[in-house]
Amino acid sequence: MDQVLEKLKQGILQFQTEVYPPNAEKYKKAATEPQQPSTLIVTCADSRIDPELITQSGPGEIFVTRNIGNLVPAYGEMMGGVSAVIEYAVSALKVRHIAVCGHSDCGAMKALLSPASLESLASVKNWMRNAEAALSVADSLAPAKEATAERLKRLTEENVLLQIQHLRTHPSVAGAIARKELTLSGWVYDIGAGQVRISEDGERAFHPVTARATKA
């Protein structure tokens, strides 16, 4: 017996018996209507992140793409899955917001800080080129003596800001922003604290989401 698969099947059974029945109407409605997500979330593949849970979103509400390090290759670089998701979300689904969500203790960001760890991971090493400028910016802004934890936090934020810049190079995104149909934000999710800090309106600073800070 495949124990890993059995555990997954147990989860599916639990979903079918406990979660689905009280929400059946919601799922049936979602299945019969075209999806109209308001938001595209670009986040890390890290298994500790659950975009639907932290935003309390239901079926059809958020369009999500995940990869190592929540990276968005600039337009023309590495045309592939991420570029296609962005184009589809903006041009076909007409999402009105894109959030790039980084997180605490990100393995990809730690790898950027110690490149030797990527020597045996050729694909990951190649992919992480999309974040190299974030390391340059983070290091150029760092004080002379910065603790490792602070350096990682700074890099995580700079990476999110860099990926927002990359997003703007995509024609679908640039056009929608120009027409004021799309806004962008950067997030850092602190897994241990259960908190999300957000950079919005083009600001470089990230602010925690609090009841008071939430805009109407």
Confirm if 170 and 187 have CB atoms less than 8 A apart. no
Query: Which of 55/183 has CB closer to Zn ion?
Result: 55
Number of Cβ within 10 Å of residue 50's Cβ equals: 10
Q: Is 131 in the site for Zn ion (CB under 5 A)?
A: no
Stretch of 19-27, 58-66, 101-109, 138-146 contacting Zn ion, by CB under 5 A: 101-109
- Give the chain's count of helices (H) and strands (E): 9, 6
Q: Which of 106, 135, 161, 182 binds Zn ion (CB under 5 A)?
A: 106
Considering the rule CB under 5 A, would residue 155 count as an interface residue with Zn ion? no
Residue 123 CB, shortest distance to Zn ion, in Å, is 16
CB of 207 to Zn ion, least distance (A): 21
Backbone angles phi, psi at 200, to 5 degrees: -130, 170
Collapsing DSSP to helix, strand or coil, 190 comes out as: strand
Q: Which is nearer to Zn ion, 105 or 139 (CB)?
A: 105
Q: How many CA atoms within 13 Å lie on the side-chain side of 156? A: 25
Within residues 45-64, the interface with Zn ion by CB under 5 A covers 46
- Alpha-carbon torsion 28, 29, 34, 39, what sign? negative
Q: How far is the CB of 44 from Zn ion (least distance, A)?
A: 3
User: Can residue 44 be called a binding residue for Zn ion (CB under 5 A)?
Assistant: yes
**Which stretches of the chain bind Zn ion, using CB under 5 A?**
44, 46, 106, 108
